[in-house]
Amino acid sequence: MSLQDTHRQLSPAEQEVVKRVMEEKYEYIDNELFHEPDAEKKLFDEAPAIKRPDTSWYHPVMENLSAAARVSHGAGAVLLTAAEERTLFLQFNYCRYRVCRIREQVGRDRITAEQARELLKWHRRAEERRDQIAQTNLALVLAMAKRTRMSEVDFADLVSEGNMALLRAVDKFDVARGFKFSTYACRAILKAFSRSGVKLSRYRQLFPTDFDPKLERSDYMERKREDHETDCVDEIRDIIRDNRAELSQIEQEVIEHRFGLAPGSEPPAEGGARKEPGALTLEQVGRIIGVTKERVRQIQNKALEKIRNTLEDDFLT
């Protein structure tokens, strides 16, 4: 539906609302009163004003209903009479009825600025009545959530499901049938709780353990680093075995004893066991070759420098 004719007269937010209302599904509960010539006058001008509830006490995660109980008996509570409840629902559905009439009138043609403003007016009035009905019955959601508390479902999630069920019940309730809205809403809320429990139960069957972000982290870099270190170790073994670093005999002996690289420590064939002689301390190596541990450290550092230079030259070439 094009809104080109109304772009200059409606704000972007209003244009978005009109577009959404024109394109999405929009329903109402019909009543014979809506088709009378003076329906708007009877429903809005002649109907008494209905006090809005005070919802400042409401919090979706509250588990102690004492606050709700105090409000229910205090000045902020609104207990609708049957006549007031009927009036609110008739007003709500009449507003939606008028919106649907405008949609039918527009059809496939472009909506005019006057039609768009009329649609916005009735849509806003419908949303105001819907909110008023839902806010008047918020304590009902908390009471039902407390009564049917399910240990596997978080209380806040349960209340959220109940609130959504309450709004759906407002949309579908037919006041002309003579039932109280609370009776209808309670059944809808309980069904929503039941569906939420079944959905969670199925989820637990498919995913018995909680999500662990650590399990989702890739170990590619760790495995890449391990492979690199293994390649470097094998390369160093080859350098020492072939003496490509031109180590002296004493330097070879110190390196082999200090890092467990003496003959017999190479990786065995597949399926065999590595025979590691074990790395020795500076003092132990000094006793073997007959020098102090400080002299062993000097020989070791000099030999490692030669090996490092050879290793770098091999990788660069």
pLDDT of residue 262: 64
Locate the domains of the chain by residue range.
Answer: 4-206, 220-316
pLDDT of residue 288: 86
pLDDT of residue 127: 95
Distances in whole angstroms, Cα of residue 191 to Cα of each of 63, 145, 171, 232, 249:
20, 12, 16, 65, 85
Structurally, what CATH architecture does the domain formed by 220-316 represent? Orthogonal Bundle (1.10)
pLDDT of residue 75: 45
- 202-240 pLDDT per residue, tens: 767 776 666 566 666 667 778 888 887 777 777 778 878
How many helices (H) and strands (E) are present in the chain, helices listed first? 13, 0
CATH of region 4-206: 1.20.120.1810
Q: Is the alpha carbon torsion for 174, 182, 51, 133 positive or negative?
A: negative
Low-confidence ranges of the chain (pLDDT < 70): 1-8, 57-77, 149-151, 203, 207-218, 262-277, 315-317
pLDDT of residue 252: 85
The SS3 of residue 173 is: coil
- 264-293 pLDDT per residue, tens: 544 444 444 444 457 888 888 888 888 888
- Tell me the H-state helices in 137-248: 138-147, 155-172, 181-206, 213-216, 220-242
pLDDT of residue 255: 85
Long-range contacts of 227-230, Cβ-Cβ distance < 8 Å, separation of 24 or more: none
Q: DSSP readout, 70-91?
A: HHHTSTT-----HHHHHHHHHH
Cα separation of 240 and 245, whole Å? 7
On whether the CB atoms of residues 36 and 42 are closer than 8 A, the answer is yes
pLDDT of residue 214: 62
